[in-house]
Structure 1
Amino acid sequence: MEKSIDHLYSISELSDLFSISARTIRFYETKQLLTPRRIGGNRAYSYSYSDKIRLALILRAKRLGFSLVDIREYIELYDADPDHKEQIQLLLSKVESRMDDLKQQQEDLMIAIRELEDIESQCVEQLKRIDGQC
């Protein structure tokens, strides 16, 4: 069943929807990434950009390695930048920087793997020599 724009989610419904804990959602609130409505003492999250879609954006950005500061900066530009040009430029800059970091990590990993393979080969050869002496 398709949810309407007016549908509200409880924190447990939203956490189930994204397979994350309610504690994670509350943590994002403390970092000012989510600002749910309050109905009585309960949090109410909307189906709109401000909640459900924003949480999906946060989780994706975290999965890609962006910091919470980067994510908040990007989200804050959504309302402040009507044509979204500044927001897109910021995102492009952050994406390029993150790709550079990942490419460097990839290179570092390949070097580490080659070194470990070399050590492994040396160990195997030494064990063969030792076994040949017995």
Structure 2
Amino acid sequence: MRNMSITGNVGQDPTSRQVGNNQVADFSIAVRRNRPNRDGNYGADWVRCSVFGKRSNTVMKYFHRGDNVAVSGQWSINRWTDNRGKDQFGLELNVNDFDLPHRQRQSNQQSDHSQGDPFAGSGDQIDVTDDQLPF
């Protein structure tokens, strides 16, 4: 099986389409290259992604242009001829699983604040007796 996992940024807001009885969300991800080019800039490779079924609703609701996402699924190479007659190739991913790392951090930060951070304060000294220490 040809599976892969990638992390990158959503290129544009997802679009929705109907395929038979399935709802499909389509979007692309820019994956930053590891090495800079001669000009010192890091390029990106683009991966076209599709999510089928009920999970496409989640993608439509929560994925937005620029969001950092992690996706995994089955990949394939798509080949086509552009309007100039030149052969083009592109990587496509049928997404089985996805995550929004930045949303996870935000929700963790919100839950941490709701429970009260014992180390966050106004900088005032905290009075603690020896009996309150666990050691």
TM bin, normalised by shorter chain, reads under 0.3
TM-score w.r.t. length of structure 1: 0.24
Higher strand share: 2
Which structure exhibits the higher relative contact order, with contacts defined as CA atoms closer than 8 Å and separated by 6 or more residues? Answer: 2
Structure with higher Rg: it is 1
